[in-house]
Amino acid sequence: MFLILKDMIMNVRNILLILTVILSLSACEKEIDIASVNISNRITVNALISPDTTIMVYLTECDDLDYFGTIALRSDYTRYNTVHTTGITENSLELLPYILPKADVEVIVNNEKTYPLVYNPEYISYSCDYVPNPGDEIQIQATSMCKDSIEKKELSPIFAVTHVPSKPKIEIIETEVKYKEREYYEVEDFGANVLISDYYGSDTVMSIKMRIEDPGDERNFYCLKIRSVGAYTVSDGMGHVTTWHTWADMFSSGDELFYDSDLVKPYRFLPAYFSDVFEDELINGKEYELTVETRLRRNSTVTPYVIVELQHLSPDLYYYLKDIEIFRISDFDLYDNPIQIHTNVSGGWGVFSSMNFDTHIIPFETKRYE
């Protein structure tokens, strides 16, 4: 009898627990008026700090991620968007309504010296004359009013920090030039399946064997760039000769270093599951050899060469680029789960990041490097 009564009590408790959970979930439901959610009073910051140049920062009001004035102007974004910007002047600002030309911006280097940033209308960005060093801690602070606010509404002040990485190490072992037919793969473009291949590629490729040396005392993040560059001349038959330059930042490799299971679809000229942004999980503290291939650009008959560049990324830049890679294959599907883009900006949006790099220029030829 006691056991029966105990079982009845346990069953009642379980039923009450289930009802409580159901009621709690029902009580948590709440309709949100999107129009009332205030996300506009934010500054978007995009900057890529490196030891080879002075500091340059883009500031905009909060806007759509894919809008022309946000990250389309950030260094390296041409890898993710077909928008290219040239000849930006003060007269072009009506095309960029979210740019903030009158913000108060400063960077603090190693908690010691403060540098005010000045707006440059030619590059629609803020800059100063400080050239960073590896290991520098660089903080940014900025305040601004809304650009077109009649009430002169103040945007939330922003703060971000980045640490300039050390210079990475990459060594070229050997190169080999060989014939290889172009490879095509199918992608969906505006609802139709089309075949695409390497951007202005030819049937000539250069195989590059290289070695990466990764320090083992820290977690490191990288991006490998292989830029195939060349030029050709065109004569009009009347003594006028024009030189055209061709280049493309892409390569192919079967190395598992470049495999990313999240990239389930191809993007433009890049196949699915391929990413040139990676961390050192497979190579931590080791010397790692790998081989990549890049195609000779079509008609590049004058001084063709390849630029091999290993970039050491700050963690925030790595996570930002990884999110962008997923975002760019989302096709803006309203039924997909929202993609949260990484940001390290307190009080605002965007990414304040840094990198360092090791670069080698290689003629397009077969060669053994000692």
Rounded CA gap, 45 and 305, in Å? 35
Q: How far are the Cα atoms of 58, 161, 210, 311, 337 from residue 206, in angstroms, in the given order?
A: 37, 40, 13, 21, 40
Query: How confident is the model at residue 22, as a pLDDT?
Result: 45
Rounded CA gap, 347 and 67, in Å? 20
* Domain end call among 105, 131, 163: 163
Beta strand 43-49 with 349-363 is: parallel
Q: Report residue 53 as tokens.
A: 């140049």
* Mean per-residue pLDDT pooled into runs of 10, the chain (370 residues): 41 46 47 47 87 89 50 38 40 60 93 95 88 96 78 84 95 94 71 71 91 90 91 80 80 93 85 93 92 86 88 94 85 68 90 94 87
Please tell me whether residues 323 and 216 are part of one structural domain.
Answer: yes
Q: Is 325 among the domain residues?
A: yes
**Number of domains, the chain:** 2
Beta strand 221-235 with 241-249 is: antiparallel
Instruction: Let me know the angle formed at the C-alpha of 55 by 79 and 305, rounded to the nearest 5 degrees.
Output: 45
Rounded CA gap, 121 and 126, in Å? 9
Domain span including residue 181: 169-331+355-368
Please tell me whether residues 190 and 302 are part of one structural domain.
Answer: yes
Q: Where are the beta strands (DSSP E) in 236-273?
A: 241-249
Burial of residue 304 (number of CB atoms within 10 Å: 0-12, 13-18, 19+): buried
Which positions ≥6 away from 364 have C-beta within 8 Å?
177, 206, 228, 230, 296, 300, 304, 305, 306
Please tell me whether residues 53 and 150 are part of one structural domain.
Answer: yes
Rounded CA gap, 77 and 48, in Å? 11
Yes or no: say if 108 and 159 are a contact pair by the CB < 8 Å rule.
Answer: no
Rounded CA gap, 236 and 254, in Å? 43
* Domain end call among 163, 187, 209: 163
Please tell me whether residues 73 and 134 are part of one structural domain.
Answer: yes
Please tell me whether residues 103 and 179 are part of one structural domain.
Answer: no
Please tell me whether residues 159 and 176 are part of one structural domain.
Answer: no
Q: Is 29 among the domain residues?
A: no
Q: Report residue 135 as tokens.
A: 């290991």
- The enclosing domain of 141 has a CATH number of 2.60.40
* Domain end call among 123, 144, 163: 163
Please tell me whether residues 153 and 190 are part of one structural domain.
Answer: no
Query: How confident is the model at residue 233, as a pLDDT?
Result: 80
Q: Is 204 among the domain residues?
A: yes
Q: Report residue 127 as tokens.
A: 């800059």
Q: Is 8 among the domain residues?
A: no
Yes or no: say if 304 and 288 are a contact pair by the CB < 8 Å rule.
Answer: no
Rounded CA gap, 220 and 279, in Å? 6
Please tell me whether residues 195 and 262 are part of one structural domain.
Answer: yes
Please tell me whether residues 85 and 176 are part of one structural domain.
Answer: no
Rounded CA gap, 294 and 204, in Å? 9
Please tell me whether residues 316 and 219 are part of one structural domain.
Answer: yes
Please tell me whether residues 317 and 219 are part of one structural domain.
Answer: yes
Query: How confident is the model at residue 308, as a pLDDT?
Result: 95
Helix (H) / strand (E) element for 76: namely none
Query: How confident is the model at residue 191, as a pLDDT?
Result: 61
